[in-house]
Amino acid sequence: MEKDIQDKMKTDLNSLSKEETIEWVKGLGIEPYRAGQIRQWLFQKMATSFDEMTNISVTVREKLKEKAFITSIEKVKTLVSEDTTEKYLFRLHDGNLIESVLIPEKDHFTICISSQAGCAMGCTFCHTARQGFKRNLTAGEIIEQVIETQRGMTDPDKLSNIVLMGMGEPLANYDAVITAINNLIDQNTISFSHRKITLSTCGLVPNIIRLGKDSPVNLAVSLNAGDDETRNRIMPINKTYNLKSLISACKEFPLPSRKMITFEYILIKGVNDSPADALKVAKLLRGVRAKINLIPLNPGPDPTMCAPSWDEMVSFQEILAENQYTVIIRKSKGQDILAACGQLSGRELT
C-alpha cells in the first residue's frame, strides 16, 4: 500500500512517449540523450530496475529512482493448451487481473494483449463483457504484457506479431493504446513492425477515423452481423454507432496499396449464419477493401448460443467467396483453456 502511494507521486516511464521522455529528463536537468538510453533499457533490454542501466551514471540513476518507476505486472498463472497455445493471467499493481495469449504459428508467435481490465461494450457472446468494466490500462501495462512474455521465451525474437484483441475495447482507451503502439514500433527500442500489429474494435466510429490518421497499424473490425437489428441484439455498441456509420468510417480509413481491413465475423447458429445473412454481409461491405475472417462461436457466457455445423460455415464462406471476397474460416486455438476469441475473463482459473 505504501509503495502504491509512493508510485502515484512518481512518473511511469513505460507509459511516456519518446517526446514525453525527452521533456521529462530535461525537466530534471538530465541531458536529453539519456532519454534514448532509458527507453532502450526499458523496451529493448527489458530492465526491471534502474540499477541495471549501467551506461547511466549512479547519480542519474538515483534521481530516476526518486522521481520515476518502471511498470511491472505479476504473472500469476500460465495455462497451456493441447495445441500449445499459452494463456497468462497477470495481476496489476491494484489487484485487477488481465489475460494475454501467446499463439504458436508455423515459424513465429503472435501475442494477443489486453487494453482494459474488463470491458464496457457488453457483447453477448463474450466472457470479458460479463466481468464489466474495471479500468483502462496504462500504456506501460499494455506494453509490459509483451515484454513479460518475451522474458519467458527461449527465443524472444520469434514473437513478431501483436494483436490488440484481448480484454477490453482498444479504441475506448485511445491515448494509452496509441502511446503503447508508438513505443512498440519505435525503431530505436523494441522495434516491432507496424505491419505486424493489428488493432481490433467493435466499432467506435470516431476513433476509427482518428486511428487512421494517428497510427499505421492494421485495423480489424468485429462485425458479426449484416443488419442493424441482429447487430443491436448481440453488440450494444451498434445502437450508438450503426452499420451505416461504421462502414462509412471504414471507407474513410486510409489504406496503403494491397492492404485491407479485416472484418471478423463470429458465426452463431440461428442468429447470423444463414445464406441470407451472408448475402447481407456481401452487400454491406461492397466498396470496402475487405477480407473476412469467419470464426465459429467459442463456448461463451450464454449456453443457448453455439456454433453452426462445419457444412453451414462452408456454405456461408462460399457465398462470400462468390461475391469476390477473400474469406477464411479461422480455427480457434486455446479453446480448452478458455484462451480463444471471446473467452478471456481475467479470473483465477484452476
Tell me the catalytic residues. Answer: 99, 341
- From residue 284, alpha-carbon distances to 115, 239, 246, 280 in Å are 29, 17, 10, 6
Asked whether the CA dihedral 65, 70, 74, 79 is positive or negative, the reply is: negative
As given in the structure block, the three cell numbers for residue 255 are 489504406
* Residue 143, Ramachandran bin (φ over 0: left; ψ between -120 and 50: alpha; else beta): alpha
As given in the structure block, the three cell numbers for residue 188 are 530505436
Paired strand residues for 88: 78, 100
Q: Round to whole Å and give the CA distance between 48 and 71.
A: 8
- Per DSSP, the three-state class of 293 is strand
Asked whether the CA dihedral 341, 342, 346, 350 is positive or negative, the reply is: negative
